[in-house]
Structure 1
Amino acid sequence: MLTYQDVVTIRIGFLTTAAKDWDDMAGGFEELESLYAAKVEGVATDGTWVGVSAGAASSRFSATREQFAAAQVEARAIASLLRDAHAQFARLISQVETTVEEAKQADMSVNSKGVALYDLSKLDSKRSDPSYSQDVLKVRMAEATWTKAIQDAVQAVDDADQGVKLALHEAAGVKSWFERAFDQATGQGYTFNGSAVGDIEVYEAREAQKYADQILAGEKPDDLEEWERLMRDNSDDKTFSQTVLNHVGPEGTIKITNQLNTLAYDSDQRNQQRYLGVEKGLADAMATATQDPKSEFYKNWNDGLKEAGMKRYDWQGEKVRGYQSLVTLMQHGEGYSDRFLHDMGDDMIAAERADQGNDNWDLPKRFVQERDEWFANDPLDGLLGIMSRDPEAAANYLDPKNDPHPDDGKTEDNDRLKYLTRERDWDVQDSNWHRNPHDPDSIWGDPLHRSDTEDAQNRAGFGAALVAATTGIDPNNSGGGYVTHSEVNDRVFEGALKHLSAEGNDFPPSLRTPMAVAMGNFGDEVHQATSAHNDGESPLDRGQVLEVAKQISRDQFSYATLQDAINREIVYDINTGRNGDEEPLIRGGRTIGFLEEARYQGLKVDFDDQRSEATWDAKWDYHTWGGVVNFIPHVGDAAQRGVDVVTAKWLEEEMARIDSNQTRDNLATGTDKEGRLEALADQWRRENPSAIRPDDRYGTVDIVDNAANNGNETAKDLAGKGS
């Protein structure tokens, strides 16, 4: 393998010089071919020489001239390969250099082995600080991150180097010792390669096809490490990706996935990471190959996928659907086009709607549980999870205004969000032991299908997609912070409120936290709605907001997620309000009162539920939901100033509720929110020093307390109207 030093010191200019020499050689062979055809081959073909000997000579002369022609093809192919190699190396070496420069800009140095190092003496002034050990840990983690980035960039150069070697050997007809010995034994001499091609990826695709064929034949690949390299190095190349996928087709891709997973998780776990590396490469190749929805490849692939995706395949004692295996594969990849994800999702929904028994994906509970962490037994939910990594793709898919058939010349809406929230059967796990694994689709295949249940990952993908679609933030990587909402984000959020509030107490528990995150992300709109005097003042349907907040409050973690976000929104409004303006304080009180009533109604639903009681009586750990701060709209001093005090008071009250056994009753009284209201009053007074009387804290507290009572009553009235 190439080292870091090899990469940063190598000179690649010789490749273009060599390419020119090979082109010149091809020109020389072309001249020789013309001369040979005229002066030698012509003797046997111009009609002056006749007879058996002339015929024999003509055949030999023709074969020789064809070698001159083949030599031109081979030489030009090698010239092309060398230029291709130069372009690849130039790009990849530049990436290594860029990564090193970025590491240096991040205050790192990089040694001769490509290891990133930080000068810890820069932290000497902090040695006595309590956070010193944490600071050192962060530095070490940063060193490891930059070192890996450099190593990955070097690995990419080495991968390309191996690909160039393979292509040059194939184009030049380089053979192994055994192959040369065989040729000599059979009297075959050396010939030039008249079928040589000047594209590195074509040769690598042919090699990858060989390993794929071995897997399809039930064998292990001859060289697993090389197959992994081929897929890793070339999955971003359109020619390579489409060549490989065309060779195996959708059904072959599914069968390869099943076999790779059997090897990775069962019969050859020692090489698990390499098998999964191949899967990632295959998934990324699919993403690359399907970028253009108007291409012939895309059309043929999708048509084949519809059939192969719904077909059942024997795998580990069960008959699994193709889509289940395919989404399992796709979970390893990235970079899928919106259209490919949307078309695939719509095809699965169409198949679900066509199945009156709602048993398309059902598999036995034991089978699902044993593979729960990696197998996409619910492929639609798995696909939605993949969409969540691309917030724009998720938003467009769940947007009711998104045209599901953009190529038919019509403008149509869709009901995907309604289907997923209100209509879909999410019970994809068989909980009975009478299922016939050999014929699961017959009338007797699953006679007790009414005992089907949700699986452990129920709606995990949909919940993530819902967060991404409403917030514009990838929930799997939210470090980038708040994203300004688009009209699409707004429509998805309002649609989610509408459909989920209509579910009432059937609101899916697995969507409580995702909706809490979404409502916190729309904190300004939610705060306006919960503090409004009437519907005309509210940007959202207040009844829907109340119902969703009520359902969120049935879970401690979800409730805390929403409350934390709303606390921040209230404090931000106070900190940025006009001097002396009491409206932010009054609105803060009304919102707290409104949400307290939502909490009361939510917990009243589960009052006799021992599981709910155990959850709510557990001690609170604020840090468990601290990561949701990445979804909060406001940052900086105005957002942070005073929020810690308000949050501390709120947590203090929650703990007091537990300690006094009042967690789940007497929740509508004012005593459970007094501390937080007083903290808000104090924060308002600190932000408006010129507008207050120092001795009138009582009056300020009274204002926010009355507002909280009014908000409480508003929520009660809305509940009475059947929110």
Structure 2
Amino acid sequence: MMQHADAKYDDQFLYQLGDDLIAAEKKNEGIFTKWGGGWEERGIESDPIDGLLGVMSRNPEAATAFFDPQGNGPASDHVGNDHLKYLLGSGDGARDWPDNVITGYRATTFDDYTSRIGLGAALEAATTGREPNSAGAAFAHHSEAQARVMQETINVLDKDSKGDTIHQNLKVPLGRALADYTVDTHAILSGTEPSSPEGSSGINARGEDSSITNSKHSLLRVMRGVSDAAYETTSDGKPVLVYELLYENEKRYSAEYLATARDASAEERGNVVGDWDNKARHVGEVYGAMTAIGSDMTLDDRDTKIGNLNDAMRYTYHGVGGLFTQIPVVGDPVQRMIDAATYEYSKDVSAAAEDVARDKDSRTTSTGVGGTNAMIDGWGTAQGIRHTEAHEHAKGEAKQSFITGREDAYSALRTRK
């Protein structure tokens, strides 16, 4: 009834009902097993916990409070919870999600293909502060509670370095959530924050401008884990993957990041000036990481047989952004920089994958750096410093960081090979 009602239920009511359902399940194991078929045809969710989480996703503040690992309330009336670990984790007392049991001559158990749909929706709402798949994406940070939920979500998913093996029904909503954290993921992948590759135990708590500080390798594995889910389908029936959403956002933010590099006076142009090298290094490292994720998808058929990305997919072709509500709008100068890099990228991913397939040592090669060079060139053109010594030096810095970022990502993804 709650699923079909057009209502936004009270935060405390949703919290208490969820808490009670979990308590009932812990007390009566198997209470929510789905018996028999035909549930979906009748529009009934037989798992009330997952159904309630779907309802909760319509009230993002309630979802954030429900999953906040810090708990809620003042010290004198504080309420802790382990909802996130119980519902998203594995082992150690985490939820054993109910199966679908069909009875007949003998009982047959199937995986419930609707399992975790509500969980994914609630986590997206809890981490972004918006209802699932709603417009409003921007390159910004989040509230402390939202960031805590996102940080802990990545930590729980990457327990035992298993972040690249995520339940299918969680991939798209978690991919959208990660896209909403592009400012944070860019900082982590580029090594600008946190200062340690191992990450920090807590978030950067700065009110409504808070950010996550997960380890780079955990983040990489989780980004890989969500990337091969089909997010949308183009007009000619070809799938667009979550990876395209993540890459498109990283590309747009990289362009804006370069556009904020400090300017130089006319007489200084041609020399290494300001923070150009630092910005180029950071962008190069992010591009290297994203190229590694894409090439890993090309070679890996654990989840889907993707094949050659040039043939099967159209990665971030001009205009793909129109399919997504989680891609911020950028100005014309930045868009021109993005367009300069778009064509090169699908070639970069395939070239990097071919090197790996041939067991070619890529630690010193720049295979796949075309998109990075195109982005730096587009920035140089926009700034009027193309082909100057400073511009070429920045490209060189980006190239070296691209290799570093790509190899670091390969190292993280090989953990589970």
TM-score, normalised on structure 2?
0.75
Pairwise CA distance, 1:370: 2.5
Query: Which of 12, 22, 26 in structure 2 is aligned with 1:349?
Result: 22
Structure 1 residue aligned with 2:341: 646
Task: Tell me how far apart the structure 1 counterparts of residues 308 and 101 of structure 2 sit (CA, whole Å).
Answer: 28
Task: Tell me how far apart the structure 2 counterparts of residues 360 and 662 of structure 1 sit (CA, whole Å).
Answer: 47
Query: Which of 30, 34, 49 in structure 2 is aligned with 1:362?
Result: 34
Say whether 1:612 aligns with 2:305: yes
Query: Which of 146, 150, 161 in structure 2 is aligned with 1:493?
Result: 150
Task: Tell me how far apart the structure 1 counterparts of residues 217 and 58 of structure 2 sit (CA, whole Å).
Answer: 31
What is the RMSD of the two structures over their aligned residues, measured on CA atoms? 3.7
Q: Deviations over 1:420-475 (max 9, x none)?
A: 1112233432255457xxxxxxxxxxx55xx33122x3322221221111111222
SS in 2 for 1:562: helix
Query: What is the 5 A alignment of 1:332-411?
Result: 332-356=5-29, 358-364=30-36, 366-371=37-42, 374-403=43-72, 410-411=77-78
Say whether 1:426 aligns with 2:86: no
Task: Tell me how far apart the structure 2 counterparts of residues 620 and 433 of structure 1 sit (CA, whole Å).
Answer: 46
Q: Deviations over 1:274-324 (max 9, x none)?
A: xxxxxxxxxxxxxxxxxxxxxxxxxxxxxxxxxxxxxxxxxxxxxxxxxxx
Say whether 1:680 aligns with 2:364: no
Q: Deviations over 1:27-51 (max 9, x none)?
A: xxxxxxxxxxxxxxxxxxxxxxxxx
Q: Which amino acid aligns with 1:512?
A: K
Task: Tell me how far apart the structure 2 counterparts of residues 471 and 628 of structure 1 sit (CA, whole Å).
Answer: 19
Query: What is the 5 A alignment of 1:413-492?
Result: 413-422=80-89, 423-431=94-102, 433-434=104-105, 448=108, 451-455=109-113, 457-479=114-136, 485-492=142-149
Structure 1 residue aligned with 2:248: 564
The number of residues matched between the two structures is 370
Say whether 1:711 aligns with 2:405: yes
SS in 2 for 1:552: helix
Q: Which amino acid aligns with 2:189?
A: T
Query: What is the 5 A alignment of 1:544-555?
Result: 544-555=218-229
Q: Is the Cα contact below 8 Å between 2:252 and 2:338 reproduced in 1?
A: yes
Structure 2 residue aligned with 1:131: none
Pairwise CA distance, 1:528: 1.1
TM-score, normalised on structure 1?
0.45
Task: Tell me how far apart the structure 2 counterparts of residues 421 and 532 of structure 1 sit (CA, whole Å).
Answer: 28
Task: Tell me how far apart the structure 2 counterparts of residues 663 and 363 of structure 1 sit (CA, whole Å).
Answer: 50
Bigger share in helix: 1
Pairwise CA distance, 1:418: 0.8
SS in 2 for 1:413: coil
Task: Tell me how far apart the structure 2 counterparts of residues 554 and 597 of structure 1 sit (CA, whole Å).
Answer: 13
SS in 1 for 2:71: coil
Query: Which of 208, 213, 217 in structure 2 is aligned with 1:543?
Result: 217
Q: Is the Cα contact below 8 Å between 1:392 and 1:472 reproduced in 2?
A: yes
Q: Is the Cα contact below 8 Å between 1:590 and 1:711 reproduced in 2?
A: yes
Q: Is the Cα contact below 8 Å between 1:523 and 1:633 reproduced in 2?
A: no
Pairwise CA distance, 1:697: 6.8
Query: What is the 5 A alignment of 1:116-155?
Result: none
Aligned CA distance change for structure 1 residues 588 and 629 (closer, same or farther; 3 Å): farther
Q: Deviations over 1:556-605 (max 9, x none)?
A: 6121121111111111101112234222221111111123334445565x
Q: Which amino acid aligns with 1:705?
A: K
Q: Is the Cα contact below 8 Å between 2:298 and 2:353 reproduced in 1?
A: no
Q: Which amino acid aligns with 1:680?
A: M
Q: Which amino acid aligns with 1:713?
A: E
Pairwise CA distance, 1:536: 2.2
Q: Which amino acid aligns with 1:494?
A: Q
Q: Which amino acid aligns with 1:702?
A: G
Task: Tell me how far apart the structure 2 counterparts of residues 695 and 711 of structure 1 sit (CA, whole Å).
Answer: 24
Aligned CA distance change for structure 1 residues 499 and 628 (closer, same or farther; 3 Å): farther
Q: Is the Cα contact below 8 Å between 1:594 and 1:712 reproduced in 2?
A: yes
Name stretches of at least 5 consecutive residues in structure 2 with no aligned partner.
Answer: 200-212, 231-240, 264-272
Q: Rg: which structure is higher?
A: 1
Structure 2 residue aligned with 1:597: 292
Q: Is the Cα contact below 8 Å between 1:389 and 1:476 reproduced in 2?
A: no
Name stretches of at least 5 consecutive residues in structure 1 with no aligned partner.
Answer: 1-325, 436-446
Pairwise CA distance, 1:492: 0.7
Q: Which amino acid aligns with 1:391?
A: P
Query: Which of 517, 520, 523 in structure 1 is aligned with 2:182?
Result: 523
Q: Which amino acid aligns with 1:491?
A: R
Q: Is the Cα contact below 8 Å between 1:603 and 1:664 reproduced in 2?
A: no
Q: Is the Cα contact below 8 Å between 1:472 and 1:483 reproduced in 2?
A: no
Q: Which amino acid aligns with 1:684?
A: W
Q: Which amino acid aligns with 2:86?
A: Y
